[in-house]
């Protein structure tokens, strides 16, 4: 009987895919990476297994991240990845095909929406619904989005930062920026390259960001040894990087996110702006966990900032909550989710 009403929520992120099953909670969290054999186009590994291969594969094997900036850039690989994850959580028996609710960034175009829906349907969904990421993030963070009071959510994922003001169950004003966790990593890679003439990979950049990263100079004291390839001699080399150096590296992408939040606040209707002053801004997403980012934004806006409890899972948890309204959505497009018959 369980299979008949199988409803699945998917946070199809640039960095990670999370899957929620109604009644079971979050059942899968894996990197959005697929390893493909270039010669035969065969998928060799998906998720964590494929992530281990990034930067370490022989010539004919490529580790692909099929989503860039929150949207599908490689349709076939995304479909293969979705199918793999769905089968992993519900088994191979597609006797009862699931209804699937998928998150998309708020700035996504109709064409991009259709690509996500078609990929899900090709991967085995009976019906696909889309929900905008800021709405899902707000639901997952425990905000009462149906309230007439304004709430502001800043969701910083891998590929996109979504900033939205939500009231009465809908998005009043929002902005989506293609600057998020991945841009932080790229900024660190570029900085290490120009400062130390050292080439490092994505995974090393991620480690630096998590262990000694900060949103502004002076946020904390830390240093870390970094191993990579010396660009001058071509040989392996070890250097030491400090938190202040990482903060300097991240100044560009961080200031873009701060400006985006300020812009949304400036365009916000006065009544809702007053609500946000009282209730504060909620931070969700993996990128929001950058050390000191909440403090920096508080200084810049004078508004209290709170990091959601489980920032990484907020979007998928919110998608799970939205599944509770999926039967209403089957009849009509409500609560400004995009529904599809």
Which candidate, 251, 250, 223, places its Cα nearest to that of 239? 223
Homologous superfamily, domain 142-179+259-307? ATPase, nucleotide binding domain (3.30.420.40)
pLDDT of residue 220: 93
Which candidate, 146, 147, 143, places its Cα nearest to that of 155? 143
Residue with tokens 């920032």: 311
pLDDT of residue 122: 86
- Is it true that 2-136+314-331 and 181-250 share their CATH fold? no
pTM of the predicted protein model: 0.86
Helix axes 202-212, 243-267, angle to 10 degrees: 80
Q: C-alpha 83: how far from its chain's center?
A: 20
pLDDT of residue 330: 52
pLDDT of residue 1: 35
Q: Where are the alpha helices (DSSP H) in 227-310?
A: 243-267, 270-279, 293-301
Report, as ranges of residue numbers, the positions in the chain whose pLDDT lies below 70: 1-5, 92-95, 327-341
Homologous superfamily, domain 2-136+314-331? ATPase, nucleotide binding domain (3.30.420.40)
Domain 181-250 belongs in CATH node 1.10.3470.10: no
Residue with tokens 């035969």: 40
Q: For 12-42, b where at least 16 C-beta lie within 10 A, e where not — what string?
A: bbbbbbbbbbbeeebebbbbbbbbbeeeeee
pLDDT of residue 268: 93
CA-CA distance, 33 to 46, in Å (whole number)?
6
- Those residues whose C-beta lies under 8 Å from the C-beta of residue 312, and which sit 6 or more positions away, are 16, 18, 29, 285, 286, 289
Q: Where are the domains of the chain?
A: 2-136+314-331, 142-179+259-307, 181-250
């Amino acid at each position: 009987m369980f299979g008949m009403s199988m409803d699945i929520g998917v946070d199809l992120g640039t960095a990670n895919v999370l899957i929620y099953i109604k009644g079971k909670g979050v059942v899968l969290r894996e990197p959005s990476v697929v390893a493909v054999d270039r010669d035969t186009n065969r998928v060799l590994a998906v998720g964590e297994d494929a992530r281990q291969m990034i930067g370490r594969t022989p010539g004919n094997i490529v580790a692909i991240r099929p989503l860039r900036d929150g949207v599908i850039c490689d349709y076939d690989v995304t479909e293969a990845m979705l199918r793999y994850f769905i089968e992993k959580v519900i088994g191979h028996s597609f006797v009862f095909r699931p209804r699937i609710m998928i998150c998309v960034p708020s700035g996504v175009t109709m064409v991009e929406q259709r690509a996500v829906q078609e990929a899900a349907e090709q991967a085995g969904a009976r019906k696909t619904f889309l929900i905008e990421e800021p709405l899902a993030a707000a639901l997952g963070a425990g905000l009462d989005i149906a309230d007439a009071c304004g709430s502001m959510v800043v969701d910083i994922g891998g590929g996109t930062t979504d900033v939205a003001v939500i009231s009465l169950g809908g998005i009043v004003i929002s902005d989506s920026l293609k600057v998020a966790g991945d841009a932080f990593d790229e900024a660190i890679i570029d900085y290490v390259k120009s400062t130390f003439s050292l080439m490092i990979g994505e995974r090393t950049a991620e480690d630096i960001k998590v262990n000694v990263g900060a949103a502004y100079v002076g946020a904390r004291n830390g240093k870390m040894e970094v191993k990579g390839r010396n660009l001058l001699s071509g040989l392996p080399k070890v250097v030491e990087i400090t938190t202040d150096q990482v903060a300097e590296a991240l100044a560009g992408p961080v200031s873009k996110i701060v400006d985006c939040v300020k812009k949304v606040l400036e365009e916000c209707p006065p009544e809702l702006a007053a609500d946000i002053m009282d209730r504060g801004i909620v931070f969700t997403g993996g990128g929001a966990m950058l050390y000191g980012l909440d403090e920096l934004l508080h200084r810049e806006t004078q508004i209290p900032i709170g990091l959601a409890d489980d920032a990484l899972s907020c979007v998928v948890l919110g998608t799970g909550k939205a599944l509770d309204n999926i039967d209403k959505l089957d009849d009509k497009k409500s609560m400004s989710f995009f529904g599809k018959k």
